[in-house]
Structure 1
Amino acid sequence: MVKYLVNSCGFSPSEAAKFSKPLAHLRSTEKPDAVLNFMRSQGLGGAVIRKVISADPRYLRYNVEKNLAPKFQFLRDLGLSESDIVDAILKNHGILLFNVQRSIVPKLEMWEGLLGSRELVLKHLKKTTRFFHSSVEKTLHPNLKFLRDECGIPEERVSVVLRSHPKLISQKPESLRALVARADELGMPRQSRMFMWTVNIIQRVSKERFEAKVEFMRRFGWSESEFSSAVRKVPTFIGMSLDMLRRKVEFFINVVGYTPSFIADKSYLLLFSLQKRVIPRFRVTEMLKSKGLWTGQGKFSCILTLSDTKFIEKFVLPHKENVPELLDILRVAGVCKGK
């Protein structure tokens, strides 16, 4: 089959050797020929076919009429284009093996109910890896039941998070329970609207990375209770890289003059872009103070929450004639263009 994959699909000899292993038992090229002809008839070019076969060489063993044609037709009937179908296949390896009525339709209906629209389901089908792999009976239903009945979290609150992070509920039930336990350890009330967001961010941060952040912030003076309190207020900051977290904390402490406890209490400060918001706004306010044009009334932490438009209207435009450098500071940061 190595020679066949080279000649019929355009793979290199080394690629063909790798992808031919699942096809070693084939005694003829009848099925592979039929599969390749079918894919070409669907408008798939050579490069795209190689991507599909690379994702799962077993596709070349499939029966076109039983396995491929019904799935392609179903996906097309959903409104997906040829390129959309390819994206869905590449993100959901094995989807062409699923039975339409027994597997694909139940998943489609369940996800549509959870996410609130067919359009959003199709978006994740094309962009989210393994979106359609989880079993409705063994994974999705048990996870929903656990969150609703045991944790007391309304389904709508769960759905809000799933619309952007559907994989949260696609994992094994025991894994989801472990994540909920970690959120409980932080003292996050299950009744809080931030609980599901906390569970979601914890899913993306390993225990090792999480503990590294706890230890890192301890060196800056945070107690464990302050760390937990900061996470409860703004859980997304723990998804930040250690390097970015270090640069932000060091700037707030060493340049702005905040104490570690103040940052823990106002942990939302850690979400602002250092280069596009924190540093340029600090430079603007410091320049105004140095020229006696601003008394410092109004906390810098509050100034950071203003939109770019409001900040410019309040702190830059009134002084653009006397201090044109203010606009230059924001232009360099990419905050304003041509104002």
Structure 2
Amino acid sequence: MVAAADTQTMKDYSSKEDEEEFMMLKKKAGGGTDVDQHVLKEVSRTVSLDAVRQLGVALDDNIGYLNGRVDFPILILRMDGEDLLDFIKDPSYESEMMTIFSSIGIHEKLYVKDYFMEAVKQLTVEHGMPPSSDAFVMNSIIQPSLKAYFKNVSGDSRGCVPDDDTTTFLLEEFEKFGHILVQHLKEEPIIVAHTQITFDASKIKKLLSAKSNLLEKALDMAVIETQKDPNSVLPCKEILLAVFDHLGPLTGLPPYGAIHQIDKSVDEILMKMKAEEDEEKMKVMENEDKVKYLKMLMRVLLEHIMLELEANKPISVSSNSVIHT
């Protein structure tokens, strides 16, 4: 439910003029005269991490590995409460909030404030909520909204959640709190830099099915790179992970250790492949045979990862950072 307003795609910037243009749009997104109200609610452009950081946006560490390697779309979102209000009015509101409250634990005997704080942390830009982890959002939007909510309620709503019909109580009261959040966002819109990176099997599939010997050459280079030091004896798993990292640009996957969802999948596959047993086999192999065997194992690993991503679903990683103007 990210802002559905018009989206303008802008060229990559590589000059001072481009940066100034972007800064002007960012400033307009935060407010302006009545004449400026038609300014796009959402601006999309592709920039490098370095360029984004120059604009004062601190992206999450879990996608920091892309720095200098890959460009990806950054959405500049003006969060003014409209999307949050749409979510509250949407038929999916009750089911999504029930899921959130269930994950918190509706029988934990928490105070209303605790439920609200935990629930708002699970709302995302998709719901129209800026990241609660940002101190400005917490101090200027969430805390004042809580204060306003408790000022206007009485009885049980101030303390513990009642035992009878807990879910209904939380849904109804959080909706009231949500409307107060909406009002605060209208009064003080938050500008958020949003990016989402999706890892799927498309590049691996293309690489494995390519008629050219690109994969073969890449594997040769990667294996040679890991075998540079003849005195070092690495476990089979470590060698495969090193090769996996070298192939990253061709597979469209991040280095091992960057994204835990990918790491988990790779670990499970290597366990099924019984890399420890392969290590024992390679100890008695000649170097040439060892290289061939490693290349074969790497192909098997890539095939399994491809099937895993196709069978389940692509893995997405997102980052949301408030731009402080």
Same fold at TM > 0.5: no
Structure exhibiting the larger radius of gyration computed from Cα positions: 1
Higher relative contact order (CA 8 A, sep 6+): 2
Select the structure that is richer in helix.
Answer: 1
TM-score by length of 1: 0.22
